[in-house]
A and B are shown apart, each in its own frame.
Chain A
Amino acid sequence: MVITKNDVLKVVDKIVEVIKENKEYLTELDAAIGDADHGINLDRGFDAVKQKLTTLPETTDIGTILKTLGMTLVSTVGGASGPLYGTAFMRAGQVVQGKNELYEEDIVKIFEAALDGIKQRGKAEAGDKTMIDSIEPAYKALKDSLENNIALPEALNRAANAAKEGMEYTKNISARKGRASYLGERSIGHLDPGATSAYLMIKSFSDVVNLS
Chain B
Amino acid sequence: MVGIVLVSHSRKIVEGIYELASQMTGGKVPIGVAGGTQDGRLGTDATEIMEEIKKVDDGEGVVVLVDIGSAVMSAQMAIELLGEEYEGKVKIADAPLVEGAIAASVEASIGSGFDKVLLVAEEAKKLNKL
Contacts and interface: CB of A to CB of B under 8 A. Distances in A.
Interface of A is mostly: helix
B16 interface: no
Q: In the complex, which range does the number of interface residues on chain B fall in?
A: 10 to 19
B42 A84 contact: no
B73 A78 contact: no
Contact of A83 (B38, B42, B48, B70): B70
A122 interface: yes
Contacts of A140: none
B85 interface: no
B46 A75 contact: yes
B39 interface: yes
B77 interface: yes
B69 A44 contact: no
Interface in A36-84: 37, 40-41, 44, 71, 74-80, 82-84
B69 A82 contact: no
Q: In the complex, which range does the number of interface residues on chain A fall in?
A: 20 to 34
13 contacts: A35-B42, A74-B45, A74-B47, A74-B77, A78-B42, A82-B43, A82-B45, A82-B70, A83-B46, A86-B46, A87-B77, A121-B73, A121-B77
Interface of A: 35, 37, 40-41, 44, 71, 74-80, 82-84, 86-87, 121-122, 178-179
Interface of B: 9, 36-39, 41-48, 69-70, 73-74, 76-77
